[in-house]
Amino acid sequence: MAATIIDSRIFGDIFSDARMRQVWSDENRTAKYLDIERALAKVQGELGLIPQEAADEIVKNCELSMIDWDQLKAKTEQIGYPIIAVVNQINANCRDRLGEYCHWGATTQDVTDTAAVLQMREGLALVEQDLKDISDALAALAQKYRDTPVIGRSNLQQATPITFGYKMASILAGMDRHRERLQQLKPRVLMGEFGGASGTLSSLEKGAMETQAALMKELGLAQPLISWHTVRDTIAEVGAFLGLVGGSLGKIAMDVKLMMQTEVGEVFEPYAPGRGSSSTMPQKRNPISCLYIHANISVARQHVAALMDAMVADHERSTGPWEIEWVCLPEIFCLMSGALKQTKFVLQGLEVDATRMRANMNITHGLVMSEAVMMGLGPYLGREYAHDLVYDLCRQALAENRPLIDILEAHPEINQYLSRSQLESLCDPVNHLGQAGVMVDRVLAAHAALV
């Protein structure tokens, strides 16, 4: 019976993704234990450290189908760790006591940590694909709406005009930086562990480093320079990376939520009959995916902090901080998989109302163009004087509920320098989008190069 939102039969595929749940499932975790024990026996047989007959027998019996799950559960509860329980079953299935060579020179944490790294590798591959899909969706929106004006907002107030393509491109640039970070961190974090009791491989009199190197090569992982049983920066780095990604997804969700407000109505989550409806208000269209994104990334962020706590480990093998990772790391991955899935859904089907965007720019009757007017008057009146003058005229326009351009045209200090048509040009948002288009093009070019 599922007790968490991640494994819920009802909510599981909203808050997470089935593929990521599989990565962190008991079955896959145990399969990774078997992969490691299989690889260890194989390489030690090849190196002549254990009899080849034993290596072959162990390899043959490292199969998930042979695991007795009830026995594994009971033994894990008795011992506190599952590795010995798995090794016991492999040993029992091998003939002629050849299984006694299983786990030769290894310690529980070697297998546990390396299995976690193998799971992280699978999980990060899913994250990588989702990030690419999200980036591609952002790029398509940036390209399509490169020149579509929308009001920029500062402190939730209307600021100066931008384009919707610029808004999407700015988020795209950050998303592509995450993709670069992922490539940069892989060589550091996809590193296995094989160090024995205190990390020095004292359990093997010969062939210790050769075993470590061959094992990591067999598993496709980096070989550590030194054991990292209680130096947990790589695990925390993965969590921190996912936390950063979550922040960017939260930014997307926040903007979409705000732009979906009835009074704004500039973009909407993809429509489906009944989606976002209210039990009492039939007119409602709530931003459902954005709500889940916000919830997921907030909880994941708290788990990232817990991974930082897990770094404070004692001596060469820790007493408790290690287990924090067992709880938090899978949940971070699963929650982030849900946030990524929901973000992809929102962006790939985002509804954009360019007409409403333009209408919203006009609700202040030209006040949002005050910066352009100030800069246009600067050469004649001086920038500071023009600023104060335009400030006063904006207050007048508000008080009299008149278009700013009418106030400007009637003012004697202005009309001696600028005609009505010149003022109209200054007050047209399309003429004052700055370098938005240039910046969009630069981001799209960088995105194309990254792909």
Catalytic residue among 278, 419, 420, 442: 278
Task: Compute the C-alpha angle 96/36/212, nearest 5°.
Answer: 100
d(CA 59, CA 205): 23
Is residue 146 annotated as a catalytic residue, yes or no? Answer: no
pLDDT for 283:
67
Name the percent of the chain in helix, strand, coil, to the closest 5: 65, 5, 30
Chain centre distance of CA 136:
15
Half-sphere exposure of 98 (CA within 13 A, CB side): 18
Residue 270: both structure tokens together: 């993809």
What values do phi and psi take at 171, rounded to 5? -70, -40
The pLDDT value given to residue 26: 97
Q: pLDDT tens for the chain, 451 residues: list them.
A: 888 999 999 999 999 999 999 999 999 999 999 999 999 999 999 999 999 999 999 999 999 999 999 999 999 999 999 999 999 999 999 999 999 999 999 999 999 999 999 999 999 999 999 999 999 999 999 999 999 999 999 999 999 999 999 999 999 999 999 999 999 999 999 999 999 999 999 999 999 999 999 999 999 999 999 999 999 999 999 999 999 999 999 999 999 999 999 999 999 999 877 666 566 766 668 899 999 999 999 999 999 999 999 999 999 999 989 999 999 999 999 999 999 999 999 999 999 999 999 999 999 998 888 899 899 989 988 999 989 999 999 999 999 999 989 998 889 988 898 889 998 898 898 999 999 999 999 999 999 999 6
Please give the C-alpha separations between residue 205 and each of 49, 194, 309, in angstroms, as whole numbers. 10, 15, 36
Q: Is 25 known to be catalytic? A: no
Q: Which of 181, 317, 356, 358 is catalytic?
A: 317
Element (H, E) at 80: none
Show the DSSP H helices in 80-160 as ranges: 83-93, 108-144
Number of C-beta neighbours around residue 148 at 10 A: 18
